[in-house]
Amino acid sequence: MRKKINPFDLPIFVTRPLLPKLSVFNARLSEIWGKQWLTNNGTQHIALEKAIKKYLHVPEVSLFNNGTIALMTACQSLRLSGDVITTPFTFAATPHVLSWNNIQPIFCDIEPATLTIDAEKIESMITPRTTAILAVHVFGNPCNVYKIQEIADRYGLKVIYDCAHAFGTEILSSPNEKIKKLVGIGNFGDISMFSFHATKLFHCAEGGALSFNDKNLKDRIDLLKNFGIKNENEVVMPGINGKLNEIQAALGLVVLDLVSEERNKRKKILNTYEECLKDVPGISFFKLNSDVINSYQYFVIRINSKVFGLSRDEVYNEFKKFNVFTRKYFYPLCSEYTCYRQLSSSSKNNLPIANIAADEVLSMPFYGSLKLSYVEKICSILLNMKH
Ligand SMILES: *Cc1c(COP(=O)(O)O)cnc(C)c1O
């Protein structure tokens, strides 16, 4: 029998930005006002770059005004051209940065268990035009980085990771089970991109970063993000304005101090969701390998409509009646956008797993200040829909 559940009084959204006490932020703003230095590698920027390097356990970092410009610059810095193999199951920015670099995205299908690019299928999509693989650790689920690197090495391809969902993720350094060493996710491939957008776990309202191992890349990337200006007399390449300003950097520094507590809270929320939903036929969620440190960026469920009895879209609409606003990440697939639909790699036959996933995923409310009793109520609403 259907229980009577009242809607939430106030809307529950999928996320809420992590915000410091205003007084803490104001103290940093006072420093900036004192120095009268607002952008171009000021003290806040220098401090944040150092702090991010440490947090992510990566050798080199370059900060950006957003993740999309960072990814655009990553493609430029590696001089990519032709075709790049990527995933259709991602945010619009991923294929768009390729288009903005005059590169054609080639969509490869994804793995059913992680929804990341299916490394086993990459090889069959490589042609003489292919210059790189752009893979996404979607929802913080790590790609098969070892296999991807092995393929890239064999064909002389560059590898870029979109780590927008994977801030703080750590995985084993090698597929060899005997070596149990954890490393930051930003250490794989040639370059990794992180987004510091307000909806991401760590943010500076808008912002982003690239991480990489090659010290020589640091000079090139920093030139590219500042118009290619080397000094007062020399402009050495056609760069862009990708700089993160002092106010963004200051916000980043104070938000970074809150991240570990936020992760602990999200861990409890995740456990509560999993406990409430673990035995529900037709509802599944991602189980990370116990060797992996989770980013706690999203909590995503998959709804098998035949088994559950309602489709993902029905669940999404039903939730709205209770003032719960879930998101269909990632629907539609990038391969269904009008700008990419005509590509031969966009055909549904080429992307069967991605097409199923796009109809089944639902991103649930997930942020530290979400009360556990609310999480339980959200789960009750979902279970009650079946009757
Ligand atoms: C957020 C996001 C981006 C873009 O980041 P911005 O900082 O908003 O430009 C890129 N890729 C994925 C997968 C994202 O979720």
Average pLDDT, the chain: 97
Residue whose CA is closest, atom 5 of ligand 1?
67
Report the candidate in 292, 270, 286 with the shortest Cα–Cα distance to residue 367: 270
Q: Is 97 in the pocket of ligand 1 (CB under 6 A)?
A: no
Output the pLDDT for position 1. 60
DSSP summary character for residue 345? G
Output the pLDDT for position 382. 97
Q: Is 66 in the pocket of ligand 1 (CB under 6 A)?
A: yes
Report d(CA 156, CA 328) in Å as an integer.
36
Coil vs helix vs strand at 355: helix
Output the pLDDT for position 3. 79
Question: Is the pLDDT at 73 greater than 70, yes or no?
Answer: yes
Pocket perturbation via mutation, ligand 1, pick of 68, 203, 248, 300 by most ligand atoms within 8 A of CB: 68
Strand pairing report for 83-86 and 130-136:
parallel
Question: Is the pLDDT at 77 greater than 70, yes or no?
Answer: yes
Pocket perturbation via mutation, ligand 1, pick of 64, 97, 134, 162 by most ligand atoms within 8 A of CB: 162
> What would you measure as the largest C-alpha separation in the chain, in angstroms?
77
Q: Which atom of ligand 1 is nearest to the CA of 207?
A: 7
Give pTM, 2 decimals: 0.97
Establish whether the linkage from the previous residue to 330 is cis, with ω within 30° of 0: yes
Question: Is the pLDDT at 197 greater than 90, yes or no?
Answer: yes
Q: Is 167 in the pocket of ligand 1 (CB under 6 A)?
A: no
287 near 115, Cβ under 8 Å? Answer: no
282 near 304, Cβ under 8 Å? Answer: yes
Assigned token pair, 216:
């020589």
For 162-195, write each residue's pLDDT tens digit: 999 999 999 999 988 787 899 999 999 999 999 9
Q: Is 94 in the pocket of ligand 1 (CB under 6 A)?
A: yes
Report d(CA 191, CA 62) in Å as an integer.
11
82 near 104, Cβ under 8 Å? Answer: yes
Q: Is 80 in the pocket of ligand 1 (CB under 6 A)?
A: no
For 85-130, write each residue's pLDDT tens digit: 999 999 999 999 999 999 999 999 999 999 999 999 999 999 999 9
For 203-240, write each residue's pLDDT tens digit: 999 999 999 999 999 999 999 999 999 999 999 999 99
Output the pLDDT for position 65. 98
What are the residue ranges of helices labelled H in the chain? 22-35, 43-56, 67-77, 93-100, 119-122, 145-155, 215-224, 246-256, 259-277, 305-308, 312-321, 352-360, 372-384
Q: Which residues contact 288 (CB under 8 A, 6 or more apart)?
A: 140, 141, 294
Residue whose CA is closest, atom 13 of ligand 1?
91
pLDDT band at 290 (very low <50, low <70, confident <90, very high): confident
Pick 274 or 1 by higher pLDDT: 274
